[in-house]
Amino acid sequence: MISLLDLRARIESGTLSPDAAIRGARAAITKRDGSLGAILRTAPEGPVPAEGPLAGIAVGIKDIIDTADMATEHGSPIHAGWRPRADAAVVARLRALGAVPLAKTATTAFAGLDPCGTANPHDPARTPGGSSSGSAAAIAAGLLPLALGTQTGGSVIRPAAFCGIAAIKPSFRLIPTVGVKTFSWALDTVGLFARGVPDLARALALIVERREIETEAPSAPRIALCRQDFAGEADAEALAALARAGRAAERAGARVFDLALPDPFARAWAAHPTVQDFEARQALAWEYATHRAALPPVLGAQLDRAQALTAAQYDSARRDAHRARRQLKDMFADFDAILTVSAVGRAPDRATTGDARFNRLWTLMGVPCVTVPVPGDGLPLGVQVIARFGDDGRALALAGMIEAALRMRD
Amino acid sequence: MISLLDLRARIESGTLSPDAAIRGARAAITKRDGSLGAILRTAPEGPVPAEGPLAGIAVGIKDIIDTADMATEHGSPIHAGWRPRADAAVVARLRALGAVPLAKTATTAFAGLDPCGTANPHDPARTPGGSSSGSAAAIAAGLLPLALGTQTGGSVIRPAAFCGIAAIKPSFRLIPTVGVKTFSWALDTVGLFARGVPDLARALALIVERREIETEAPSAPRIALCRQDFAGEADAEALAALARAGRAAERAGARVFDLALPDPFARAWAAHPTVQDFEARQALAWEYATHRAALPPVLGAQLDRAQALTAAQYDSARRDAHRARRQLKDMFADFDAILTVSAVGRAPDRATTGDARFNRLWTLMGVPCVTVPVPGDGLPLGVQVIARFGDDGRALALAGMIEAALRMRD
């Protein structure tokens, strides 16, 4: 994998030019993406910015995010060949920092649950997860140092865990969704994928112009280990990885204790699909009305069911979410972060993109989540560190601490 | 002016066909829009839906709202000729109801403050207000029975008041903004223009699938009359119109009393431009980076200044807004609605689109606002009725009551 910070250090010391770094990413895509299917298309050749804190950084852009110089197809033949006039806000910001939005990465159709053609770099028979499939796979395969994805259920944290990389779903709307195809406006969150947590922290701090995100370093943190029982049981291997991550945090000086989330969180978790699908029905109304037959099976059926949802059900689901959000804010007085599994277990086969059951609640809460891989045998497993709304720097600092501690022996 | 409810009654009784109603709107545009400049383009001729609760209703769509069958240019040469692939969510919803999104209406560039070429139907030397200039003018000139606009500062309520028509800025995100060009994602609100309040209530209830919006009828309401002193002073004529509206409400059975908004509201009012401009800088980052010289003068200078805003200033402004929003919610225990001026006074000349100082706070609060004209001599004046977040039906019911009472003599 390619480290953003390593690349930047070489560029700053003059041993690598931004132009050569971008050429390297192009060469890696040409050489290694063939069977992977992470990359849909690359930007036309052109001058590479020589200046800027992200000069030389090639970025993968999930194909539901608008790019003025490349088609944006939302993973669907309905939008085949569509070219936006403008860049999405986050893409324009990356360019302002000197980065090169180099490639559009494969997405499931409209960031839904139907698998797209991307393979997991660790095992081509397995899913890389979804819906940000290409972004996660491109980082894991060493094609790019940074990629953008989005999460509405678990579409950033889950694919990162399946692919053995780091990712952050930041606080809701910290990165603007302007120019991102909407699935659910109350949930859609732009996130970042990279090799490790320090890379994520640098990129996020620059993108959102909050340098404190990269510099926060809490001492003797309190970490609440949480199994999310209301969401069902994770695989034994995932729970073992969670326990290992908890021990690693303790070795790094954290106080770790168990947390059972009270009832309002079970209700909020159950409310997530109602919020999501009531909004998706409106957000995708044109596609549904004019191209129903061209929608893939899972999304088509999901929108069929969503037609029956009522405004009263939506309002009730929103109230459940609001109540849990307020309670969570208070609970963070007692700990600095929550530590939980990033997915049910290892990547399943490619018939699905996996299950978002351990991600949903946190997307609905709008809180920052950072996933780090737990080293071990076989396919990757991840754990996620969750902080209070707006405490993205803390989530990253604690995730970085656990990431580093996990590299040492148990 | 054309009444949506009248048209629908004629269609339901079989004396008018939806097709003839749409032909009537096309003919009115051809005949009367020449010097007005409200309409930019009309939809290609095609079959008119015969069924649906809004069949036969021609709708004007502000040109920052995506339409699949017409260009969407955001009022700017930067987007000249741009054709979205999909309809905005609200446009798709209108089609599902049988309505015909017939015409794109003139907007200021990116819904900013620079005037566009539209005249006020009551006096061609005056502004129709902005940024939803064409939508307000098209209703006032009797070209269409319904039009969509958006409000970030005062872009729905102010032009409606200047043009002597009714309009609603609903609760924040009640109508989805999917497919609407973003200026500020925390503020942008899709609204409706029509001849009168009953038309608005029918249209909104159908669009958002909440029939109770049309049927709410509070008895003996408590109305707080508010001058918004922190925003400066309204013109004497506007204050006289507010007093008249208060007396009309009393005649209709309301208890009317004065309300001075406490200090947190002055702070929230002052915070609005920071929230708006910090987000506009990100939302329009592509346009600013690649086409700065093509931006009109007021917007260009506004975005120049916005580059200096910091994340800390934005966070502080958001906290001020949040505090006021919570306090406002509690205050609504003591009254059913707030009644205040819709604008500083009558429409000024076309050098500006007028001033949003009496609208801003309510946009930031996310609460429903309904403006109704106050009959009198000279150019129109309006007052707005403001209810609690989510109480759009109550805002409409009370505005309808005042609208009806104002038609009787003082």
How confident is the model over A204-239, as pLDDT tens digits? 999 999 999 999 877 789 999 999 999 999 999 999
Interchain pair B182, A178: CB under 8 A: yes
Residue A197 pLDDT grade (very low, low, confident, very high; cuts 50, 70, 90): very high
pLDDT for residue A178: 98
pLDDT band at residue A410, thresholds of 50, 70 and 90? low
Q: What superfamily in CATH does domain A4-215 come from?
A: Amidase signature (AS) domain (3.90.1300.10)
Cα separation of B57 and B100, whole Å?
6
pLDDT of residue A219: 75
Q: Is B44 left (phi over 0), alpha (psi -120 to 50) or beta?
A: beta
The continuous run of DSSP H or E covering B149 comes out as strand B146-151
Residue A7 pLDDT greater than 70, yes or no: yes
Is A298 buried (19+), middle (13-18) or exposed (0-12) by CB count in 10 A?
A: middle
What pLDDT, on the 0 to 100 scale, is given for residue B216?
86
Could you give the CA distance from residue B339 to residue B372 in angstroms, rounded to a whole number?
Answer: 11
B25 to chain A, closest Cα gap in Å: 24
Which residue from B86, B209, B310 is facing A311, i.e. has the nearest CB?
A: B209
Does residue B394 contact residue B170 with C-beta atoms inside 8 Å?
Answer: no
- Averaged over A157-177, what is the pLDDT? 98
- At residue A180, the pLDDT reads 98
Q: If pLDDT is split at 50, 70 and 90, which confidence band does A21 have? A: very high
Interface of chain B toward chain A, CB-CB under 8 angstroms: 68, 78-79, 82, 85-89, 91-93, 95-96, 173, 176-179, 182, 185, 208-210, 279, 282-283, 285-287, 289-290, 310-311, 315, 390
| Min Cα–Cα distance to chain A from B177, Å | 9
User: Which single residue is written with the structure tokens 């081509």?
Assistant: A124
* Per-residue pLDDT in tens (0 to 9) along chain B, 410 residues: 999 999 999 999 999 999 999 999 999 999 999 999 999 999 999 999 999 999 999 999 999 999 999 999 999 999 999 999 999 999 999 999 999 999 999 999 999 999 999 999 999 999 999 999 999 999 999 999 999 999 999 999 999 999 999 999 999 999 999 999 999 999 999 999 999 999 999 999 999 999 999 998 777 899 999 999 999 999 999 999 999 999 999 999 999 999 999 999 999 999 999 999 999 999 999 999 999 999 999 999 999 999 999 999 999 999 999 999 999 999 999 999 999 999 999 999 999 999 999 999 999 999 999 999 999 999 999 999 999 999 999 999 999 999 999 998 65
**How would you class A323 by CB atoms within 10 Å of its CB: exposed for 0-12, middle for 13-18, buried for 19 or more?**
middle
Per the residue annotation, which of B131, B133, B135, B184 is the catalytic one?
B131
- Write out pLDDT tens, residues A269-292: 999 999 999 999 999 999 999 999
| Whole-number pLDDT of residue B334 | 96
pLDDT attached to residue B220: 81
Active site annotation includes B171: no
B31 counts as catalytic: no
Question: ipTM, 2 decimals?
Answer: 0.97
Tell me the mean pLDDT in the region A48-64.
Answer: 98
CA dihedral B253, B255, B256, B261 (to 10 degrees): -140
Residues 6+ apart with CB under 8 A from A351: A115
- Report the length, in residues, of chain A: 410
Minimum Cα–Cα distance from A90: chain B residue? B282
Rounded Cα distance, A354 and A357, in Å: 9
Residue type, B372: V
Residues of B in contact with A95 (CB under 8 A): 289
